[in-house]
Amino acid sequence: MPHIVFVAPHFLENTTRYASAFAQLEGVKLSLISEDPDRAIPAELKQRIAGHHQVRSVSDPTQLVLALTGLSRRVGPVDRLTGALEQLQMPMAEARQRADVPGMRPDIARRFRDKDLMKQVLRRAGVPVAASQLVPSLDALRAFIDSVGYPVIVKPQAGVGSRATHRIESEGDLAALVQLGLEPTPQRPLQAEQFIRAREFTCETVSIHGKAVWRSGTRYFPTPLEVLEKPWVQYCVLLPREVEAPWTDFAAINGAALEALFGDKPQVTGTALTHMEWFLADGPKMYVNEVGARPPGVQIMPMMGLTHGVDMISKWAELISFDRFTPLERKWAAGAAFFRGQGPGDTVVEVRGLEEAVAKVGSALVELRAPKVGQPKGSGYEGEGTALVKHATTEGVKQALLTLIETVQVRYG
């Protein structure tokens, strides 16, 4: 019976769902590593675990190794060390290496975490990516702009959730970047990239021992950059009913990119659900933007579940625990709408149109987390509330999403 160790800083709702998916798997022994104490583990989950080890910081590989040592003594040798959060991927890889637990090692995990290294590996493998460079100074950034021209994108080397991503279109934007205190330095270099004007998509891939066995994909409306630049824009993600172009056209590029990233020992490192973001520009030309070796956010996991009639989190748990995945057939279209407020202020003071939207969308609405008056302004592009919809047709989902974002209005004050 494999012994799986799942890492999560705190037992928040989402993390608990991921941990519970492992706990409910037949034939798995589950242990947990967390910053939260034992008493914070929800009762139902606690009944089903074989062990728990509390650490001060889940980001510290040394503490993870100590926890692994303790758990393997009390529960048995550890077969997998896993966790869903992007920020855990490097520390877990480091701990696997030191504690000799099978799975992705730091050299490979870094390719998924470090945007500069990722693009270098992809470029070397002939995978289309934007021209990019890690710049350690303003002069180097200027030289990069001279070579590719405006506009360029700058972002942190190991970013997540579009934080601190900026489009630079002019000398004035460069000055603004400096004023924001984001000037690149040798200690804090910036990832600079040629700006790709494009529509933005995702490709979720299940790989076993480095071989892609199943794919799904979504489209972002509008692009995360636009969502970031225009805080009032309400945001949607669509997972269509059809398995068709442009997603199917992207499969070959996705395959080549993952093969390059997994490296020459895919039988060890290449069992994963990956979340790749990619651009479709005029031409048409496709580019890989970035890829995470972890389940996707922005409601894509529940959307994949709805469209394929499964619990995707439990499918992921099964993949990680047993290197096993049965390809899924798509039966529905699904979408997510993210409600974001307008106006100055940092608290929600008014939510309009909810009842009307719910009535209009009818049975397509699967889940609604309504924004509430008094709620603090959300950080990042997920906003203050979410609606999940499902329909037999892609058009039905598009209509429902449009109705939701046009009818629901959130105001800050």
Ligand X SMILES: Nc1ncnc2c1ncn2[C@@H]1O[C@H](COP(=O)(O)OP(=O)(O)O)[C@@H](O)[C@H]1O
Show the site string, 262-281: x = touches Mg ion by CB under 5 A, - = not.
Answer: ---------------x----
Taking CB under 6 A as the binding criterion, the range among 25-33, 194-202, 208-216, 317-325 that sits at the site for ligand X is 194-202
> Count of residues binding ligand X (CB under 6 A)?
19
Angle formed by the axes of helices 115-124 and 106-113, to 10°?
100
160 binds ligand X (CB under 6 A): yes
Residue 153 binds ligand X, judged by CB under 6 A: yes
Binders of Mg ion among residues 272 to 331 (CB under 5 A) are 277
290 binds ligand X (CB under 6 A): yes
Residue 259 or residue 277: which is nearer to Mg ion going by CB? 277
- CB contact set of 133 (below 8 Å; sequence gap of 6+): 116, 140, 144, 191, 192
- Over the window 225 to 254, marking each residue x when it contacts ligand X by CB under 6 A and - when it does not, the resulting string is x-----------------------------
Cβ-based nearer residue to ligand X, 11 or 220: 220
Q: Between 87 and 97, name the residue whose CB sits nearer to ligand X.
A: 87
Residue 172 near residue 161 (C-beta atoms within 8 A): no
Please tell me the distance from the alpha carbon of residue 281 to that of residue 42, in angstroms, as a whole number: 46
**DSSP 8-state symbol, 86:** G
Q: Report the number of secondary-structure helices (H) and strands (E) in the chain.
A: 15, 18
Name every residue whose Cβ is closer than 8 Å to that of residue 337 and which is 6 or more positions away in sequence.
Answer: 234, 235, 236, 386, 387, 389, 401, 404, 405, 408
Binder to ligand X among 128, 136, 159, 353 (CB under 6 A)?
A: 159
Contact 371, 321 (CB under 8 A): no
Among 52, 113, 155, 166, binds ligand X (CB under 6 A): 155
**Identity of the residue, 210 or 217, whose beta carbon is nearer to ligand X in the bound complex:** 217
What is residue 269's three-state secondary structure? helix
366 with 388: CB under 8 angstroms?
yes
Site string for ligand X, 255-284 (x = CB under 6 A): ----------------------x-------
Judged by CB under 6 A, which of 120, 137, 157, 165 binds ligand X? 165
Residue 324 to residues 54, 93, 123, 180, 309, Cα–Cα distance (Å): 30, 21, 31, 47, 18
Which of 79, 94, 116, 200 binds ligand X (CB under 6 A)? It is 200
Nearer residue to ligand X within complex by CB, 63 or 289: 289
Would you tell me the crossing angle of helices 106-113 and 89-99 to the nearest 10 degrees? 170
Q: How many CB atoms lie within 10 A of CB 7?
A: 27
Coil, helix or strand at residue 212: strand
Among positions 129-148, residues that touch ligand X (CB under 6 A) are: 130
- Told to check if 289 binds ligand X by CB under 6 A, we report yes
CA gap 87, 65 in Å, rounded: 17
**161 binding ligand X? (CB under 6 A):** yes
Select from ligand X, Mg ion, none the partner in contact with residue 96, using the beta carbon and a kind-dependent cut-off of 5 to 8 Å. Answer: none
What does 193 bind: ligand X, Mg ion, none (CB cut-off 5 to 8 Å by kind)?
ligand X
Residues in contact with Mg ion by the rule CB under 5 A:
277
Residues in contact with ligand X by the rule CB under 6 A:
130, 153, 155, 159-163, 165, 193, 195-196, 200, 223-225, 277, 289-290
